[in-house]
Structure 1
Amino acid sequence: MSQQRKLVTEVPGPRSRELMARRKGAVAQGYGHVAPVFVERASGAVVEDVDGNAFIDFSSGIAVTSVGHAAPRVVDGVREQVGNLTHICFNVAPFEAYVRVCEELNNRTPGTYEKRSALFNSGAEAVENAVKIARRHTGRQAVVVFDHAYHGRTNLTMALTAKNVPYKDGFGPFAPEVYRVPMSYPFREPVEMSGAEAADRALAMVESQIGGANVACVLVEPIQGEGGFVVPAPGFLGRLQEWCGANGALFVADEIQTGFCRTGDWFACEHEGIVPDLVTLAKGMAGGLPLAGVTGRAEVMDAVPPGGLGGTYAGNPVACAAALGAIETMAAEDLAGRARHIGDVMLKRLGELQTRDGCIGDVRGRGAMMAVELVQPGTRTPAAELTAAVSRATQERGLLTLTCGTNNNVLRFLPPLVLDDALLDDGLTVLGEAFDAVA
């Protein structure tokens, strides 16, 4: 499949419009969508719709296809596995691929201590189980989370998630013993604040309102995803980890969106030398198949007795084969290094765009996880409608982009890490054209 942008109809085309009408009559409206087109196939960093339009993908299915769509090692592994074993359930009878994936996670996640891993279906499941494990190990119940955080759509993970609409509205009551404190958000701090100072602000609330002796874990995204690609000030994560160690609480890193080379290291915690007690993993882990995991200290993970973890489909053999192919691809092709290169190019080009467009208030991110926060020119007032309009304009021109943020005013960019320089340049050029047309 050609790695080029190509538009042969207006967007959306006639076939996509026809399918959209059928969708409305068959699919629950609670399942929203961003792109106005129906996808037929994809390869590398290009997605083709049912009308033959080829789009540059700056979304990766929300940071999932980091190794590219239809990555050869993933495809080969899945084909072989489907012919041998599609399902048995690890709780019924174990199989080697599950063990191999756990070995990879134990070896590649931060920390040289002895580790154990457990596999699940989705990021939300991984977070739920990390909290279960933390509570079981510590004998405590309180979970500390942050403003702007996103951790999933199950009952517990909705409680952990900050944003009400659309993720939580009308779905309560939610699980108890969840406590929210301020995040380090440099662009929106009322006064300039170091990472350590921002952490101390949050921890003062923990001490006064919860009590350190009651905290099972502090759960944090090293870079917030749905909350707006918020990169905390240096020192914020380290101070949280230090407090956890001093108070017998676990430091849990939610690396679901940041993990597996996305930010230029295998895991975002590594940028500041952070070694979590537990880390939750998903998205880029299996090249597009549903797989997630929790990895952590052996004594913590093994606090749960047999039967306390699992799931009928958790760690499915086909998904495990895909994960092994994806991880091999990341290592063999140095996709962490590629992510750093993509980030360098994006940072430069987005910075240039910011200098000529007063609606871009902030450019931020790491590696191939970059974003721009849009504001009313000359202010920091969020510009949500403009953000949506720019995203629509990119799609109409053959570039898939996503929005995010508590105020819906952040454009985020998550291209496959196999994106070549020509496509990267074309995508950023299209982005500039979209700003020119709308802003």
Structure 2
Amino acid sequence: MFDKVLIANRGEIAIRIIQACRELGVTPVGIYSDTDETAKHVRLAEEAYNVGGSVARKSYLNVDAILDGAREAEVDAIHPGYGFLAENTAFASAVEESRFVWVGPPSDIMEQFGEKTKARALMDEAGVPIVPGTTTPVESVEEIHEFGEEHGFPLAIKADGGGGGRGMRVVHRDDDIDGEFEDARHEAEAYFGNPDVYIERFLDDPKHIEVQVLADEHGNVRHLGERDCSMQRRQQKLIEETPSPALDDEERDALCERAREGVAEAGYVNAGTVEFLYQDGDYYFIEVNARIQVEHTISEVVTGFDIVKWQLRIAAGEEIDFEQSAVEPRGAAIEFRINAEDPSSGFDPLPGTVETYRQPRGIGVRVDDGIDEGDAIAPFYDSMFAKFVVAGQSREEAIERGKRALGETTIEGVPTTIPFHRQVLDDDRFVAAEHSTTFVEKEMDVE
């Protein structure tokens, strides 16, 4: 195992990695921007290094400064967390070419899965169902017209180098193709530095279901069950749960095994998430997230496996020491993303100082956060500052526990998404698991 690990991130995920390092006897080293000099993750790290100005591109995206910090701290490895540089192939390659170990999939694997068309082709070859569409970037707008004629509308134009809804355009008629094609390319270039796009049949009312996998360099691949991330707004996840209420046991076993087999055939290593859309009894692969996910918490809660520790163990060359049959998820878990946003005003981010912060407690409640009372939430980064996770013996108990936990919480100084989460838990359609990825926009009274 490593002696020292630099965590190239901030906030709650940096703290989560710090905790895993400490339990493994590893010294955690942090980084910080000018704004984050007194942040919670800095206070908890054994040592921390300034990597630049407040805006992310001058600090948390500053590869040279991060590597300089790693050299000064004399660490063994670098863990990127999620976001920022976590799926940046160039950064992973730079770490690999240095004397440090990259805690994540090798850069060549990241590159394969980072370009969505390559990932679709890989999984298609492995026998995993994909959404009907192209497995190479679109060369011309004429290809999209031809696809529309053959497969009908709506169709989706999607960024080859990205995800999260960035660079995606839904086209409902042939006359709109030309304009949407150009808009998608411009946005893809702006967000991902890659203007390439591909096309898929657009599923208009799907569930979003993903499978957590772990793979080591010795050929062992395991899955830790699935998560349902259908409660979204504009392709941004708000609430996640496991197991998915949309699947029966036979569907669940088949989906998870397909995901496991797909990444095994692709030679994947470390933790990852295989994402699917599910509609009308069929599931389709959409992408692999080659990193730890925000919602890894709920998989940990129901399986008992520490995914972040396993990331570190695998990166250190250790072999997965449990069989697939040892993974026996118990009960149900739900995660609520607590963002400094105002749900009553279009979910506008509103940073500020958290004047009062009383967390939920009690049986079946887990809190992962990046702040303490009195800390400021900066305007330069993502607005999520905490995750509340509740677990119960059943989905029904988890929902009731969620109501209790959110009701016990007091946060003053910034608006939060808690009122939205409470609204969801009181919605009969969510309780009946009738929601899909379009539910918030179509059915809920939010802007």
Query: Which is richer in helix?
Result: 1
**TM-score between both structures, scaled by the size of structure 1:** 0.31
Query: Which is richer in strand?
Result: 2
Q: Which has the higher contact order (CA 8 A, sep 6+)?
A: 1
**TM-score between both structures, scaled by the size of structure 2:** 0.30
